[in-house]
Amino acid sequence: MLMMVTITGATGNLGQKVVNELTKLISQEEIRLAVHTPAKANKFHNSKMSIVPIDYANIDLMVKAFKDSEVLIYIPSITYNVKQRIIEFENSLVAMKKAQIKNLVFVSFFADQENNPFKMSGYYAYVPRRLAGTNLNYAILKNSLYADPLIPYLPELIEREGLIYPVGNQALSFITRSDSAKAIAKVAVTPSLRNSGQKYLLTQGENYTMNQLGNLMTEITGHHIGYNEMTLENFAREYADEGDGDELASMYKAGAMGLMNGISDDFIQITGNKPKTMREFLRENYIK
């Protein structure tokens, strides 16, 4: 019997990788891509996967998109407004109920502690509590920091001769988007991994202080990358033009409090394989 898995955010950075991993586990006919901007799904048109439009603001559209799904994989939007993201999630819950979705895989982030100053931590803390009060079977996969953005950042780091994250001596932990996607896809297609409110933390086997990460980057690139810590204020100002300086600074403030250094072997428990190490990832992806 076919098991329809519907995935939101399917054309996003992470979503595309989850779709790719799903195709290794189930047939294309069992995968439904719920997309916000249909034009971004053009490359999937020759596949046997179905493509349906959604908008987290439009409940009726989501009901149509979600119906007859065995499982929904929910990847939140990247809006940096807690209230807005909660409304999006609440709309999605209404749609899930109307579409009679029973199983949910929620993609979360590990900055969810009560004392976490990251501006989005309220959202990540809210969802598990909210889900606990529903009749859904669900699992929550908390990503640590994506390793992927470090690759395009390397030229800037080489020029600066150092990392600048304002986290002091605290370590940060990472996961590649590909590994995150592998775990999400496996949980989605395996009822025993998602039927009882499981919470998973996806990380590599080691975390890194900025000195350790700089040393590793020096080894891989052949350029000296040390650690020239910025103040939170300067960091926020530095990235203000990109629109998320304050948000990123609030996240690294959490890092400086030791709230972003968690390590777990959940990836191994889910997939049976080791996650890609930071050394392997940088070596495979850094182009001199």
Task: List residues binding ligand NAP (CB under 6 A).
Answer: 8-9, 11-15, 36-37, 40, 54-57, 75-78, 109, 143, 145-146
Give the pairing of strands 103-109 and 137-143: parallel
Helix 210-221 to helix 150-160 angle, to the nearest 10 degrees? 90
- Please name the residue that has the structure tokens 């052949």: 222
Cβ contacts of residue 181 below 8 Å, gap of 6+? 14, 17, 18, 20, 21
Read off the DSSP letter of residue 22. H
DSSP of 53-66: E--TT-HHHHHHHH
Nearer to ligand NAP, 144 or 198 (CB): 144
Taking the complex as a whole, how short is the minimal distance between the CB of residue 227 and ligand NAP, in angstroms?
Answer: 20
Asked whether the beta carbons of 193 and 184 are under 8 A apart, the reply is no
15/214 with CB nearer ligand NAP: 15
Tell me the Ramachandran region of residue 161: left when phi exceeds 0, alpha when psi lies from -120 to 50, beta otherwise: left
Distances (CA, A) of 24 to 21, 78, 94: 5, 27, 31
Beta partners for 109? 143
Comparison of 109 and 235: residue with beta carbon closer to ligand NAP: 109
Which C-beta is closer to ligand NAP: that of 145 or that of 213?
Answer: 145
Residue 192 beta carbon to ligand NAP: minimum distance, rounded to whole angstroms: 25
- By C-beta, is 56 or 165 nearer to ligand NAP? 56
Least distance in Å: CB of 26 to ligand NAP? 21
- Distance of closest approach, residue 84 Cβ to ligand NAP, in angstroms: 9
Residue 13 or 190: the one with the smaller Cβ distance to ligand NAP is: 13
Q: Closest separation between CB of residue 18 and ligand NAP, Å?
A: 9
Closest approach, Cβ 259 to ligand NAP, in A, equals 14
- The residue with its CB nearest to ligand NAP is 12
